[in-house]
Amino acid sequence: MKILVTGGAGFLGARLTRELLARDTLAGRRIETLVLTDQIEAPADLKADKRVESRVGPLLEQCRALVDEPFDGVFHLASAVSGECEADFDLGLRSNLDSTRALLDALRACTDRGAAPARLVFSSSVAVFGPDAAVPMPAVVADDTLPAPQTSYGTHKLVCEHLIADYTRKGFVDGRAARLMTVTVRPGRPNGAASSFFSGIIREPLAGEESICPVAPEVSHPVSSPRRTVQGLIAVFEATREAFQGRMAMNLPALNVTVRQMLEALEAVAGAKVRARVRFERDERIAGIVANWPTGASAGRAARLGLQPEQDFAAIIRQYIEDSAATPAALKGMQ
């Protein structure tokens, strides 16, 4: 089968691609081709695989060519992140809404010409819920909690969920949406996401660097490891339509932790000296965005697919350390 991964050179896209290449099959079929679209080149290890084709350029432009290219499956991960969308309203609309619409219309054009509807997994987000002080919302958001996004990013994700559901209802695609929790620990440098510090306060101290936490230690948040998130995306791809119970979107499993619990886990895994590298310095812009996010999430439908969150945050830190073993420089702070 031929698979498209948008945002395929990014952190999650590359990890997903590696996992798919290792499995070699998806939903019981052999993976012949994996097309990765992104703004940047795919990592060298992926490009070295004969099954992988890396295409560089804005998704909106790339979609125009896709009307003649049927895919069996699509993982649609490409997205402008929350901080970017708040800073640049037009960029957000173009990257998240217009690009998804163009992708859906390209897939639909293929179906119109007789191709089987592509199975599509859309990476939605827990940010769809986005309560603020004025909106009654449970502390832990469930699959069937009424969303009230308070960011453009969350709005776009929710809007795309509904567009995908309608294209699916019409038989143009076979779509489903997985609401990702905040993925941590991400390697590399901070990015434009308001949630970036949820990785930074672990990653930088482990690398011997100081890290600033822009929110209070009491802030609670639903997180997931990269490994569980990739597992979730694949499980949602392979799920039956019935598992969604008539809806197209499903929360992925969350570990609901406070910043304080994250730092306690950091101390337990790497020592007090490492933890001491985190300094609290409130950032009103970041804290304001995070205050409009849920403090926790549940994932009943995902549990029925056998998906579970990590047992505790220490397990997530250990996973990061294990994954970084190939590049030990990232962990020099632990010595």
Token pair for 11: 């952190």
Nearest to 212 by CA among 275, 272, 281: 281
Give the whole-angstrom CA distance, residue 123 versus residue 143.
Answer: 15
Residue 169 buriedness (CB in 10 A; 0-12 / 13-18 / 19+) = exposed
Minimum separation from the CB atom of position 154 to its own copies (A):
9
8 Å CB contact between 177 and 239: no
Q: How far is the CB of 66 from its own copies (least distance, A)?
A: 18
Fill in the DSSP letter of residue 216.
Answer: -
Residue with smaller CB distance to its own copies, 223 or 286: 286
The whole-angstrom separation of Cα 54 and Cα 37 is 6
Among 41, 64, 91, 245, binds its own copies (CB under 8 A): 245
Using the minimum distance from each CB to its own copies, give the nearer residue, 41 or 166: 166
Burial class (CB in 10 A: 0-12, 13-18, 19+), 144: exposed
47: left (phi over 0), alpha (psi -120 to 50) or beta: alpha
Please identify, using beta-carbon distances, which residue of 246 and 306 lies nearer to its own copies: 246
| Shortest distance, position 259 Cβ to its own copies, whole Å | 26
Near its own copies by CB under 8 A: residue from 246, 272, 306, 329: 246
Catalytic residues: 153
CB closer to its own copies out of 139 and 325: 139
Range 150-179, binding its own copies (CB under 8 A): 150, 152, 155, 158-159, 162-163, 165-166, 169-170
**Smallest separation (angstroms) from its own copies to the CB of 149:** 7
Helix (H) or strand (E) holding 158: helix 152-169
Nearer to its own copies among residue 51 and residue 101 (C-beta): 101
Give the number of other Cβ atoms within 10 Å of residue 75's Cβ.
30
Torsion of Cα atoms, 203 then 204 then 208 then 212, to 10°: -140
Query: Residue 155 or 211: which CB sits closer to its own copies?
Result: 155
> Interface mask (CB under 8 A) for its own copies, residues 81-100, using x and -?
--------x-----------
Chain residues 43-62 in contact with its own copies, contact rule CB under 8 A: none
The distance of closest approach from Cβ of residue 170 to its own copies in the complex, given in angstroms and rounded to an integer, is 6
Q: Cα dist. 333→62, 189, 194, 259, 267 in Å?
A: 42, 16, 25, 20, 13
Q: 164 or 236, CB closer to its own copies?
A: 164
DSSP structure string for 10-58:
SHHHHHHHHHHHHH-EETTEE--EEEEEESSPPPHHHHTSTTEEEEES-
Residue 3, classed as helix, strand or coil, is strand
The residues in 102-161 that bind its own copies, with binding defined as CB under 8 A, are 132-136, 144-146, 148-150, 152, 155, 158-159
- CA atoms of 126 and 112, how far apart (whole Å): 33
**C-alpha atoms less than 13 angstroms from C-alpha of 284 in its C-beta half-sphere:** 0
Counting contacts by CB under 8 A, is residue 284 touching its own copies?
no
CB of 165 to its own copies, least distance (A): 7
> At closest approach, how far in Å is the CB of 26 from its own copies?
25
Question: Which residues are near its own copies by CB under 8 A?
Answer: 89, 132-136, 144-146, 148-150, 152, 155, 158-159, 162-163, 165-166, 169-170, 245-247
